[in-house]
Amino acid sequence: MQPDSPLTQFKELLKGAWRSRRLGVLTAWALALLFVPLVLLMPDRYQASARVYIDTHTVLKPLMAGLAFQPDFDQQVRMLARTLISRPNVERLRADPAIGWAPASGGDVSREVDSLMKGIRIVAEGSNVYTIVYRDTDAGRAERLVSTLVSSFSSTSSADKQRDSEEARKFIDEEIRQYEVKLSAAENALKEFKLRNFGVSGVSGQDYFARISSLSEDVARLRSDLQAAESSRDALRKELSIEPEQLPVEALPGQMNPAPTELDTRLEAQKRQLDELLRRYTDEHPDVLAARKTIAQIEAQKRVEAEAARKRREASGKAPAPTNPVYQRIRVSLAEAEATVASLRGRLATQQARLEQVRGTASKVPQVEAELAQLNRDYDVIRKNYQALVERRESASIGVKLDQTASMAEFRTIDPARAAPTPVFPNKVGLAAIGFVLALVGGLTAAIVYSRVHPVVDSTKALRELSGRPVVGRITLIPDAATVATVRHKFVLLGGAVLALCAWQVAWIGWLAVRTLS
């Protein structure tokens, strides 16, 4: 035997439901009547909302960049929006008598606080635009709560910033005092170390090898300068030895022309004669050569007589002062050269002594330099941290003054707190319509279930399937007039019940719609 098609099964369900139609109509009426008090007793909830804009892009913000400490206001606003409905804040809202909460015991207050935390919503819309939404059975209370949240949005931000600034200032001041003590101890330790190891490599800003290299370069440079100065001095001595101290008497400035001697007269005559010969003859003429030889002999004789005169003056112990200005200048330069040589020798000796002293301390250098490097490193770290803390304190101080004189974030209320005049939940018209549909579905379901629990054999096929035996025949019922009238009367009653249910539900939904709109 093949199973029935879905359409056939559906028809059988409808037949069963039709047989139990009175139960279905009664069930639909019962469910419809049950939904009426449920909808009426369900409390209306009114929604209050407000929109707030936080402007963090003020004129002072770029102007004070780098001068004052400026936190990330956008991040602070986002964090504030998340912490605004924290439990302590909501507990303060619940305890505020201006909002209109009814007194409650400890356990009820805790449950109400949990409910408030779930009911309050802060929705971010775009850049720093926030919408605060809350639903309550009392429209005025919802509006007052949203208004309080808007007010606390800005006041909490200012109070938090002032409290954070005060705590930061106290912390920085305490850290600065501690670092002042550390810095003073490090400076004293460094000073005592330098005094204790004065003259040892490493305490003058250079390590051992740098000092050795510097001193060696100084010694080599001084030696080179000394050699150059000695060479210059020796050259001046040599030049002074060949330069005459006295000028000839006739070359002395301001000297009166003395009476010419016999040698002078002869020399003058020979020179005039040489001039006459040169006009007539060449330089190689014998007379010219003889005249020049005679002039040379006379000049040599004059020098011999001048030297004899000088020796006589020296023998008498009366050495005249040098009259040659070139000789005098050479003597002055020589004296300066001697002083330069003496100075360079002294400096060279000093630098060589210092070099030997540094080389002599080579055994102490590694330990001294290691200790000094450690002291300098500790001192530099402490000093940098101290300077950074002082700079941050000044920056924080300017930031606090900036907050006191001008707000770096401006709160603007776009839409003030306002409660909707009509409830937003529940939608009683929709619930009533859903209740009507559920009542019809419930009645149909009850009729189908009853027919399945109490089945009726209404066809030869059903009888054959139920008994498992062949059906020989069937008897047809021919109703009389009274039976037909009775059936019609039942149909009228059933249709009237269904129509009454529908009419009543339409009137009920319409009444709810009019009440909600009013």
pLDDT at 255: 45
- For the ranges 63-77, 153-167, 290-304, 339-353, the lowest mean pLDDT is seen at 63-77
- Give the tens place of pLDDT for each residue, 322-369: 667 777 788 888 888 888 888 888 888 888 887 787 776 665 666 776
Residue 70 has pLDDT above 60, yes or no: no
Q: Under a CB-based contact definition with an 8 Å cutoff, are residues 116 and 94 in contact?
A: yes
pLDDT at 263: 72
Q: What percent of the chain has pLDDT over 90?
A: 0
d(CA 436, CA 482): 36
Residue 377 has pLDDT above 60, yes or no: yes
205 phi-psi bin (left φ>0, alpha ψ -120 to 50, beta other): left
Residue 174 has pLDDT above 50, yes or no: yes
Could you tell me which residue, 79 or 388, shows the higher pLDDT?
388
Q: Which two structure tokens, joined as six digits, stand for 379?
A: 């001192």
Q: Under a CB-based contact definition with an 8 Å cutoff, are residues 149 and 120 in contact?
A: yes
Cβ neighbors of 185 (< 8 A, separation 6 or more) are none
3-state secondary structure of 472: coil
* pLDDT band, very low/low/confident/very high, at 402 (cuts 50, 70, 90): low
- Give the tens place of pLDDT for each residue, 119-131: 888 887 766 788 8
d(CA 333, CA 240): 10
SS3 of 172-231: the string is HHHHHHHHHHHHHHHHHHHHHHHHHCCCCCCCCCCCHHHHHHHHHHHHHHHHHHHHHHHH
Tell me what the pLDDT averaged over the chain comes to.
75
Q: Under a CB-based contact definition with an 8 Å cutoff, are residues 25 and 498 in contact?
A: yes
* pLDDT band, very low/low/confident/very high, at 370 (cuts 50, 70, 90): confident
Residue 482 has pLDDT above 70, yes or no: yes
pLDDT at 254: 47
Could you tell me which residue, 168 or 118, shows the higher pLDDT?
118
pLDDT at 256: 43
Report the pLDDT averaged over residues 18-31: 85
- Give the tens place of pLDDT for each residue, 90-112: 888 888 878 877 776 666 778 88
- Give the tens place of pLDDT for each residue, 222-263: 889 889 988 888 888 888 777 776 666 555 554 445 556 677
* pLDDT band, very low/low/confident/very high, at 211 (cuts 50, 70, 90): confident
Report the pLDDT averaged over residues 286-298: 81
pLDDT at 63: 45
CA distances from 132 to 13, 91, 124, 158, 179 (A): 53, 17, 9, 19, 47
Single-letter amino acid, residue 373: A
3-state secondary structure of 425: strand
pLDDT at 68: 47
pLDDT at 115: 82
d(CA 170, CA 163): 11
pLDDT at 398: 65
d(CA 157, CA 403): 11
* pLDDT band, very low/low/confident/very high, at 406 (cuts 50, 70, 90): very low
pLDDT at 485: 82
